[in-house]
Amino acid sequence: MTSAAPFPSPETSPSPGTSPSAPTFPPTGRRVLVSGASRGLGRALAQAFAANGDRVAVHFGSRREEAETTLASLVGTGHVLAGGDLSAPDGAYAVAETAAAGLGGLDVLVNNAAVNLPHPLATTAYEDWAAAWQSHVSVNLLATANLSHLAARRMIEQGGGGRIVNVGSRGAFRGEPDHPAYGATKAAVHALGQSLAVHLATYGIGVASVAPGFFETERVAHRLSGAEGEAIRAQSPFGRVASADEIAAAVLWLASPAAEWASGTVLDLNGASYLRT
């Protein structure tokens, strides 16, 4: 991780309750940053917001060509690319600045970027184990925290109102034996979202998370064939996995004005494959 540069900040820190007449949060025409939007769920999220009439900043880390494909697929105009390495604080800062400059502000942040690499303890060397934890924490948790700070402060400075939606995971609750850092960091993302939901409500900013089970993207398509695929589909009584569009539809609702009272929610999206009480 690179060291963070000294970031500029407002001359005075914002205080709760200073914007009691903040503008009503709009249902469309918003300025939306989606992290990890070059393919898969991120692409589906960007497409859902664009179809809603919003303008989208498509973040990518290293997959610029795929991000450009996402950008070209979006209906409407005014969408932008925002490339950068979220594993470093200054990289997250640059992404947020690029997105806000390109869109003219930020109204919605969707924290979707994530690392998910196998590292089962019994067969993973210690140096590889430590590296896996570092990369998962840097992207899944710290980048989510950093982008949330940057976006929320901008929302506050704009007069209040906004939404942050985090993409968590079912694995935060049921465990991830071969991907323990993924499960742990996603549990932390859920907790972070709930803390921010309480803190940011006074500014009219809602914060929620989704906890998807298995859903189909090109990255995991190979796992859905043969016996492994049948076993994965059998986890749900519906006998299938979700589509990325189904997850995106839930995120779009949580980012809407109608979902203000869902702030603090961790919404299970797993087809009854794992039931929490």
pLDDT reported for residue 14: 53
Q: Where are the domains of the chain?
A: 31-269
- For helices 126-136 and 180-200, the axis angle rounded to 10 degrees is 20
pLDDT reported for residue 24: 80
pLDDT reported for residue 222: 83
- In this prediction, residue 221 has a pLDDT band, given cuts at 50, 70 and 90, of confident
Active site residue ranges: 182
pLDDT reported for residue 2: 41
Q: Letter for the amino acid at 99?
A: A
pLDDT at position 233 over 60: yes
At a CB cut-off of 8 Å and minimum separation 6, what does 1 contact?
87, 88, 89, 134, 138
Query: What kind of fold does domain 31-269 have according to CATH?
Result: Rossmann fold (3.40.50)
- 10-31 pLDDT, tens digit each: 444 555 544 444 458 999 999 9
pLDDT at position 166 over 60: yes
- 86-139 pLDDT, tens digit each: 999 999 999 999 999 999 999 999 999 999 999 999 999 999 999 999 999 999
